[in-house]
Structure formats: structure tokens, C-alpha cells
Amino acid sequence: MRILLMPGHTEKRKGASNEYTTEFDLALIVCSSVISQSVLYKSKNDVMLYRETDLNYGYKDINNLNADLIIQLHFNSHKSSLAKGYENLYHYKSRKGKQCASDLQGFVKSFYCKIQGKSGAEGLDRGTKHVSKGKRGYAFLNKTKAPAVIMEPFFLSTFSQYTAFMRELPFFTQMFSKYLSELTSAEVSNG
Ligand SMILES: [Zn+2]
């Protein structure tokens, strides 16, 4: 199974930001680190990195890579500084997208379990969200051929969430590389 991992947003439009970084810059660091570590788990050819530097995503380029799953990494943002938690988004009509979003939700939960305990992880669980026309992320989820998930592991706009994530960033990328490497060895189902 081939997985395409990509940072959300673009060089020119970097998405959400806080005092220290932007969504795009941080997502690119995380994705690059995950890809380089996946070498350790012997799956570098199956976990690919795609970054878009232009204003618009090159859906044609993305689809030409023939991935079996596309994960676009984002960090959430809200005007309330109390917003927190993790969620994974999928196209409302995609059964596989829904399943992958649910699996990734479980993965992020296991990360928070390790760093904040079970009740901490459960308290942050915002669940998976289906995305229909006009909703956040729809264009991306609708134009990609392969099942796709928009991953939002924390709120960049919430200082306590940002610092907790940054403190555990090496651990997160390590866990994520391992998780993806295991996924690549899974069979691709045709259902
Ligand atoms: Zn975003």
C-alpha cells in the first residue's frame, strides 16, 4: 500500500499561524521528519512526500502518484484560545476515507494516551468528521482519486496544545513513521 503524506496549505498561503510558526511550515517539518524516519522502518518507497509550493494544489500531480491513501496534515485553529483536541476529516461519500480517518483517529489517540494518559486522550477526542460540499477541506477531499484524510492532531492556536505537541514532536514523528510503515505493509482491499 502506497501512502502519500503531505503538509496542508502552501508556501504562499500557509494556513493558520501562531506567534512561532505557521501550519504549513510546521506540517512540512513533521512530514519531512516522518518520511526520513520511515527509512528506518524500511518503507521509504511506500511513504511518499508531496509538497505544493504553488497557490493551488496540483491535483493532477497528486493523482498521478497513484497512492492508495493520502494524508494531508493540518493543525487546527479557532478564535477561542480554549479550543483543543484532535480530529480527522474524510469525504462524506468515501467509505474507505471514513475507515482511514477512524484508524488515524485511533493512532492520534494512542499518542495522547502515551503522553497524557487515557483520560487525557479521551478528553481531547473530537472524533472523525465527514465533510460535505462547502465544508472545510471539501475541494481537496473531493478532487483526490485515492481515499484521503485531513488530519488535525491539535490546535495551533491554543498555546498549551502547541507547547505540549512541540515538546513531544520527536516522539510523535517516531510513532507516526512506525504507524505508517506498518500500514504500508497492509494489503490494499478492493472493497
Ligand atoms: Zn489547515
pLDDT of residue 45: 62
In this model, does residue 55 exceed pLDDT 70?
A: no
pLDDT of residue 62: 87
Ligand 1 centre to CA of 76 (Å) is 6
184 φ, ψ (degrees, to nearest 5): -65, -25
pLDDT in tens, 108-123: 999 999 999 999 999 9
Q: Of 153 and 49, which is predicted with more confidence?
A: 153
pLDDT in tens, 63-85: 988 899 999 999 999 999 899 99
How far apart are alpha carbons 68 and 85 in whole angstroms? Answer: 27
pLDDT of residue 187: 67
Ligand 1 centre to CA of 152 (Å) is 8
Domain ranges for the chain, please list them.
3-184
Helices (H) and strands (E) in the chain, counts: 6, 6
pLDDT of residue 42: 64
Cell numbers standing for residue 136: 472545510
Per-residue confidence at 58, pLDDT binned at 50, 70, 90? confident
pLDDT in tens, 124-175: 999 999 999 999 999 999 999 999 999 999 999 999 999 999 999 999 999 9
Pairing of strands 47-49, 69-73: unpaired
Q: Of 156 and 50, which is predicted with more confidence?
A: 156
From the candidate CATH numbers 3.40.630.40, 2.40.50.500, 3.30.2290.10, 3.40.50.1100, the one assigned to the domain spanning 3-184 = 3.40.630.40
Neighbours of ion ligand 1 (CB under 5 A): 8, 15, 23, 74
pLDDT of residue 28: 93
In this model, does residue 39 exceed pLDDT 80?
A: no
Per-residue confidence at 21, pLDDT binned at 50, 70, 90? very high
CA 131 to each of CA 32, 84, 109, 138, 164: distance values in angstroms, whole numbers, following the listed order: 27, 20, 21, 6, 28
Per-residue confidence at 177, pLDDT binned at 50, 70, 90? very high
Ligand 1 centre to CA of 8 (Å) is 6
Ligand 1 centre to CA of 27 (Å) is 9
Single pTM value for the model:
0.93
Ligand 1 centre to CA of 162 (Å) is 15
